[in-house]
Amino acid sequence: MRRGGSLAIDAGQSGIKVRHADAAGASEWAGPGIRTDLPLLPQLARVMAQAVDAGYAFDAVGLGVSGLTSDESDAGYLLAAAVQYGVRAVHLAHDSITAYLGALGDDRGAVVASGTGVVTLAVGRTDVARVDGWGYLIGDAGSGYWLGRAALDAVMRAHDGRGDPTALTAVVREEFPDLERAYIELQVDPARVGRIAAYARHVADAAAAGDAVAGAIVSAAGRELAASVIAGLRRVGEADAAAPRVRGVGGVFGGAALARAFTASVLEQVPGADIRLGEAHPLDGAAALGSVAPSSALATHISSAGG
């Protein structure tokens, strides 16, 4: 077993990424995503235990977690679970914090992280604002799930005669030859969120190929993501800054049409914004949790135990 080192964990709904680092170098691996409808802390404790079982030792752990609520922001629970492995410090935060740190470090600005779900974090001199990240039932506008849900809606509208024909119908029929049974199968599938979000890639592909329905969906998603960024910048007093930093990270920004819609919508309201897409390293952000300065606006949003 390797001695010493640190463990960084980026726990999302679509998958969990883990990095172990020590004097000998770094190793990374991935596993199944967390279930936000189940208690999160026991799931995270298992991730640490699995790393130990794989032969890694570490005395510090940083975790960025999707769906983390204030009730479960308890680094002490995780430290108690991992102290038997030699862990001396645990730093735990919502994945919006680690996505932010991985994209902008401790600088001011706004980061929107959109994968299966989406959350935006804006940081000013003294304030932090979280926008959306409210889950697939009541939020996550512009996320992969949102795109996939919109695709399925468009296909069923076309099927009924309520909407325009779309190339997305053929894509959905590959999985659901009988479209009228799709909703029944999805309702009972515990993996339905990821399954629906998987259609986001097909929406981007169809939009790039000129499908008007898909194009409208990705444009709307870009505007939704921009609206979250603008709201965040305004709440922390950065919207009127000379060149507020804006970063869009996560899989949905891989689609060119969505990226264009997002960029145009942000610049329409904040003309001087410094916008960059696809630049984020959430594992770097998780690893950096323990080094955030006490004076940082982010510090109160990190749960730490040990030292």
Give the pLDDT band (50/70/90) at residue 50: very high
pLDDT of residue 1: 41
pLDDT per residue as tens digits for the range 225-280: 999 999 999 999 999 999 999 999 988 999 999 999 999 999 999 999 999 998 77
Report residue 2's pLDDT band, with 50, 70 and 90 as the boundaries: very low
Q: Is the distance from CB of 211 to CB of 165 less than 8 angstroms?
A: no
CATH topology of domain 6-95+283-306: Nucleotidyltransferase; domain 5 (3.30.420)
Q: Tell me: the pLDDT tens digits for 189-239?
A: 999 999 999 999 999 999 999 999 999 999 999 999 999 999 999 999 999
Distance, first Cα to last Cα, the chain? 23
Looking at residues 131-142, what average pLDDT do you find? 94
Q: What is the pLDDT of residue 272?
A: 94
Q: What was the pLDDT predicted at 282?
A: 86
Q: Check whether 3 has a pLDDT greater than 60.
A: no
Mean pLDDT of 155-184: 98
- Provide DSSP, the chain: ---S-EEEEEE-SSEEEEEEEETTEEEEEEEEPP-TTS-HHHHHHHHHHHHHHTT---SEEEEEETT--GGG--HHHHHHHHGGGT--EEEEEEHHHHHHHHHHTT-SEEEEEESSSEEEEEE-SS-EEEE---HHHH--TTSHHHHHHHHHHHHHHHHHTSS---THHHHHHHH-SSGGGHHHHHHT-TTHHHHHHTHHHHHHHHHHTT-HHHHHHHHHHHHHHHHHHHHHHHHTT-TTSSS-EEEEESGGGGSHHHHHHHHHHHHHH-TT-EEEES---HHHHHHHGGG--TTSTTGGG-EEEE-
More confident site: 93 or 115: 93
